[in-house]
Amino acid sequence: MNSNKLYPRRILIIVLTILIVSLYIIRLFYLQILNPNYKAEADNNAFYQKALYPARGIISDREGNIMVYNKATYDLMITMREVTQLDTLDLCKTLNIEPKLFVERLNKIKDRKLNPGYSPFVPQILVSQLEAPEAGRFQEKLYKFPGFAIRSRTLREYEYHCAANILGYLSEADPRDLENDSSLVAGDYIGKTGIEKSYEKYLRGEKGVEVLLRDARGRIKGKYQNGAHDKPYVLGHDLTLGIDANLQTFGEELMRGKRGAIVAIEPSSGEILCMVSSPSYDPALLTGKEKGVNLRQLANIPGKPLYDRSIMGYYPPGSTFKPSQGAIFLQEGVLSPSTALSCYHGFPPLHSRPKCHSHPSPVSLVPALATSCNAYFCWGLRFMLDNRQYYPNVQVAFEHWKQHMVQLGFGYKLGIDLPNERRGYIPNAKVYDKLYKGRWNSSSIISIAIGQGEISATPMQMANLATIIANRGFFYTPHVVKKIEGFPLDTAYTTLRDSHIKASIWEYIAEGMAKAVTNGTCRNANFAPGEIEVCGKTGTAQNPHGKDNSAFIGFAPKDHPKIAVCVYVENGGFGATIGVPIGRCIIEYYLRHGKLSPATEAIAERMKHLYIGYKDEIYKINKKSDSQLPVREQDNHNNKETIKREETEESESTKQINPTENGQKE
């Protein structure tokens, strides 16, 4: 009776007991087997995985000259859990740092917000970049400081004091980098700009690991299973650039005291031979202990040396744009090579605006390019946009025009292998519809025919136009890296891009540019008459902030060209006064392997010492190289910063437009 009454209760107790025990087992199973955190923590207690850092890839120029290599440096590491006793004063004395600083640094390391990868079991960087003697001194006293260790690492060193923006610099990975790349740990260095950034995955190599065993108190006891679980590192891959380091250095010297850019490209490959942005700086400023200070100083200099004008500068191309216009008008069939058009010191239909200079009239394409006649190209735009036989309305005609510009590499990023390239600006018909409330024609926007008005381009895009003409109608996306050790180049840099304009048309354009050098606006570029045929086109573009910008595009030799170049100097005045002589120096230097003729040598000397006064430029910085001296101040100009504000990518129709009157000079 009693036992019968108790029976259900007993069952209940048994069931409950089984339930509780099961819950415990499940929880334990979860904690120890399923939960990776717990497992990792347990492993961390038993093992210490020591990272082995490979040397970063070496960077050489196109001639095989080493530009960037590695130097050993030492970091002092701390593993919190292993610090059993610590004489802070003794430590700080050995390291020659303030105790206050030491405490601050410790707190930063332990702050998981600042240092998400923090674990008391994982070594953290306490002091970075110790010199060899400092590291050696500390190494001797390491026995006094359990939990501390010296780790060797490599630091970038530079053989040439040029090409800072191309090469870029390294920085410690920030929290976002750590989040995006699981192979990184706090304290790792990665490329932040330039090719150090864009080729990071090749340059870095792969970290290796050494698995060490700890005892119950966390002390390292030696290799785990004799290194059976170790993983060797993979060295970083070397890069060979298309850049000629000597040409780059020479270009930076020529641009001393001026703001602007020089871009030179090998037409047959799209390899960038030099890419100067001025003012420039010594890349060695951004390596080593002074990096932070130097970076802040460089960021605050008025000339903005960290801003790479060659791929970021938005400039009106001026008359260097005319070859592209001539080619489009011929391809569209609105002009023929023999069409001769009148010019009476300007474009006749608009009362001689834009203006032009004295030259015989009428002119056909070749002399129009040679003399840089403004009226000729305005006529061309008029014949295209106002042509109701070929196009139903101005909008359609304009979109045809724009399509050609895009195929010539304008209006969008070219896609070069560096971060931060910008797209320049070519408006579309909607922009003008909005601006002129739907009623507009060629006269409304005539200045674009001569590379002014709403359009803007980067020096890289202008150099690319010279490349297209040099190749008579095609190009490869310009690129800085020529070869990656063990890997092929991205096909983006080996795929031919067509201009969709006939080669025979480009032949006329090249002829016009050759005539500009023999007896037109670029005569000063004719450095070897009868020997090397040079093709060129000047540009003088209005700059709302002072004196005109001076520009030049060209290539040489005319047949089988080896180099295409763009020179762009802010507030340089006429294209012929600065753009052409610098272009000449670059072309001759490259074609003659650095051996300049006496005449060009004299021009180069004059250019190196020609300073343009930019009012805002008064600064001093601890430069490591004399070749990068800042421009000096003069009072004869009142120029303001000419760099345009960043426009929102892909939103061209929202851009503010200021139609300008054009008094184009040449």
Measuring CA to CA, which residue among 439, 355, 333, 424 is closest to residue 393?
Answer: 439
* Residue 530 in tokens: 């009868």
Piece of the chain touching Zn ion by CB under 5 A; list 244-252, 323-331, 335-343, 405-413: 335-343
State yes or no: residue 446 binds Zn ion (CB under 5 A). no
Using CB under 5 A, pick the residue from 239, 356, 484, 534 that binds Zn ion.
356
Q: Among residues 245 and 375, whose Cβ is nearest to Zn ion?
A: 375
- Residues 70 and 234: their CA atoms lie apart, in Å, by 16
Site for Zn ion in 365-384 (CB under 5 A): 373, 375
Piece of the chain touching Zn ion by CB under 5 A; list 155-163, 322-330, 343-351, 425-433: 343-351
* Residue 632 in tokens: 């000096």
CA 656, distance to chain mean position in Å, is 26
Q: Among residues 287 and 372, whose Cβ is nearest to Zn ion?
A: 372
* Residue 69 in tokens: 């290599």
Residue 343 and residue 450 in contact, taking contact as beta carbons nearer than 8 Å? no
CA 138, distance to chain mean position in Å, is 40
Q: What angle do CA 277, 413, 482 make, to 5 degrees?
A: 65
- Closest approach of Cβ 342 to Zn ion, in Å? 9
Judging by beta carbons within 10 Å of its beta carbon (0-12, 13-18, 19+), is residue 133 exposed, middle or buried?
exposed
Using CB under 5 A, pick the residue from 173, 241, 343, 378 that binds Zn ion.
343
Q: Among residues 130 and 363, whose Cβ is nearest to Zn ion?
A: 363
Q: Among residues 422 and 665, whose Cβ is nearest to Zn ion?
A: 665
Measuring CA to CA, which residue among 551, 593, 393 is closest to residue 466?
Answer: 551
- Closest approach of Cβ 378 to Zn ion, in Å? 9
- Residues 586 and 260: their CA atoms lie apart, in Å, by 15
Kind of pairing, strands 260-266 and 271-278? antiparallel
Piece of the chain touching Zn ion by CB under 5 A; list 21-29, 337-345, 400-408, 418-426: 337-345
Q: Among residues 165 and 452, whose Cβ is nearest to Zn ion?
A: 452
DSSP 543-577: ETTEEEEEEEEEEESSSS--EEEEEEETT--SIII
Q: Among residues 185 and 373, whose Cβ is nearest to Zn ion?
A: 373
Piece of the chain touching Zn ion by CB under 5 A; list 88-96, 100-108, 338-346, 606-614: 338-346
Tally of CB atoms within 10 A around 372: 31
Residue 583 and residue 565 in contact, taking contact as beta carbons nearer than 8 Å? yes
Count, residues near Zn ion per rule CB under 5 A: 4
- Closest approach of Cβ 350 to Zn ion, in Å? 13
Q: Among residues 245 and 356, whose Cβ is nearest to Zn ion?
A: 356
DSSP 125-145: EEEEEE-HHHHHHHHHHGGGS
Which amino acid belongs to residue 175? P
Q: Mark 154-193 with x for binding to Zn ion (rule: CB under 5 A) and - for no binding.
A: ----------------------------------------
Piece of the chain touching Zn ion by CB under 5 A; list 239-247, 354-362, 429-437, 448-456: 354-362
- Residues 358 and 345: their CA atoms lie apart, in Å, by 6
Altogether, the residues listed in the chain come to a count of: 666
Site for Zn ion in 73-132 (CB under 5 A): none
Q: Which residues bind to Zn ion, rule: CB under 5 A? A: 343, 356, 373, 375
